[in-house]
A and B are shown apart, each in its own frame.
Chain A
């Protein structure tokens, strides 16, 4: 197992390398450069000087090798478009905590509520909670969160005055954002949690419902095992595989932010930043964020695979069939 994990970590390094090369080429192939976009208004000598300053006049393979050598020394370059050209690593270190905190609360809320709702729904199929789960799952995905966010702002923000003193909604963007526990998180977290809540409750319900009708659960029941023992030892174990496959990747997904939530609530977060840097062709920012996301997801996939073998010891990783 340790050998397998080590092998996976080495291969994750290889994946990061491939990703960096692919994205580097991809972003250079997308029409428009950081200073040539029409609204920048640079031309002639000014453009040439700017491109020389940022090294954009060199051929792409030279630029990639340069980027890679400095990235390997943990220097991810300086942002093109953010005022003052701060280093990418510094920018991410400043912005990510806000998104991370928002994401962490969202994960707690959506997973806690979603798993409980899903389990109750699976036990009482076609009951009240079950119908509620179907409703939540449909509404959470089918109603886009910028619509929900706008309604929330209207109802709670303007009419009830919630969040009026939020550092996010009014006033300038403060680097630290809100305090660790603050009402400022309330509306964004609730809005942000709806889609994952839909996913979590729906997958939990279907995974549990699938197992609850299995023969071994009936056997366990007829053996006279308590519901608790059946639930923990028989149902949970078998329901978890499809659940963690889909739900665990929600963790890196939520921790790296959402564009619409951040735009509507004025949260200075990573999601908005990522999209802006793509539109601004802020190459070092794009690369830095892509590598961060690749690392987070790669680790999540590895953890998922390890959990598979913990949950079901029959699962053998890294072996071919019958070997």
Chain B
């Protein structure tokens, strides 16, 4: 009797509220100019990388010795110039998007997918769970990522999949700690208490109430994780344990210019990939901000 009274009207009300919230969120997102700009830029980058074979003006490994280290905007045939061995730089950039977007997207996705539940358990359950997970975090922090990467790659060998695995395994600590802190803070909050008193299930409290309120720092952390992963891939390539030539990647293009005075003389080789990484990150920030604003009804217009 009491259960029926408690469940029926509340459940209905909640479902109604939820549906309108999502629709509201979508509407707010679509109206947010910056967020849409970010989404469109991301879509363009992803499309360009997927259809690189069609979009790129030349072949990935087509070499033309007359355009070695050619400056950009000199020749309309090679609008962004040529790289150190005479490959069309625009083509390299478009193909580089494949590797870099893949790494930049999947490394954070994997590490967050693993880290957020872990941190949530630590913060929400507390006690022994928190103690154990925190020790694992402390131990993992102290293991030098470089050493760990050298070890893992010495077992698994180089390759895109392995690089993503190595980077994901070494970048889960921050999101886990953020999730832990947010759950630690919100599990005692009034709205969680209220939800619990109203009989909301644990899973609903965790996902609907706490996770949604924890979104902001996690989204910011995600937008930072994207460029960090792109450059970490380059770092591994730089050490000779990442993705090997002739596969193109933005991070590797930038990293390649550290060896010499390329940054200054052949400025385009470092500049254009850097701009692309920045644009990718900016798009993620815009989309993340837009999502955050769309999902937060108190920030209504």
Q: Which of A15, A137, A291, A323 contacts B139 (CB 8 A)?
A: A15
Residue contact A246 to B126, C-beta cutoff 8 Å? no
Tell me the bound Cα distance from A154 to B261 in angstroms. 10
Residue contact A26 to B148, C-beta cutoff 8 Å? yes
Question: Counting CB contacts under 8 A, is A220 at the interface?
Answer: no
Which B residues are CB-close (under 8 A) to A142? 227, 274, 277-278, 280-282
Which A residues are CB-close (under 8 A) to B150? 30, 278
Q: Interface size (A, Cβ < 8 Å)?
A: 65
Question: Counting CB contacts under 8 A, is A129 at the interface?
Answer: no
Which A residues are CB-close (under 8 A) to B138? 12, 15, 294, 297-298, 301
A256 to chain B, nearest CB (A): 11
Q: Which of A30, A246, A308 contacts B184 (CB 8 A)?
A: A308
B162 to chain A, nearest CB (A): 15
Residue contact B274 to A321, C-beta cutoff 8 Å? no
Residue contact B217 to A321, C-beta cutoff 8 Å? no
B171 to chain A, nearest CB (A): 13
Question: Counting CB contacts under 8 A, is B135 at the interface?
Answer: yes
Question: Counting CB contacts under 8 A, is A215 at the interface?
Answer: yes
Tell me the bound Cα distance from A27 to B217 in angstroms. 35
Q: Given that A206-B217, A213-B296 are contacting pairs, would A316 and B126 also be in contact in the complex, using a CB cutoff of 8 Å?
A: yes
Q: Which of B3-11, B41-49, B175-183 participates in binding chain A?
A: B175-183
Residue contact B143 to A141, C-beta cutoff 8 Å? no
- What 1/0 flags go to A3-35 for Cβ under 8 Å of B? 000000001101100110011001101110000
- 3 smallest CB-CB distances across A and B, nearest first, come from A320-B127, A294-B142, A142-B278
Known contacts A141-B228, A294-B142; 19 further A-B pairs (Cβ under 8 A): A15-B135, A22-B139, A23-B144, A30-B154, A31-B154, A134-B282, A142-B281, A142-B282, A147-B270, A150-B263, A202-B224, A206-B219, A241-B182, A242-B182, A246-B217, A319-B127, A320-B125, A320-B130, A321-B124
30 cross-chain CB contacts under 8 A: A15-B142, A18-B139, A23-B147, A30-B151, A137-B285, A142-B277, A142-B280, A146-B258, A147-B254, A147-B258, A147-B270, A150-B258, A150-B261, A206-B216, A206-B217, A213-B296, A241-B181, A242-B181, A245-B178, A246-B178, A278-B144, A278-B147, A278-B150, A290-B142, A293-B141, A293-B142, A301-B138, A316-B126, A320-B128, A323-B126
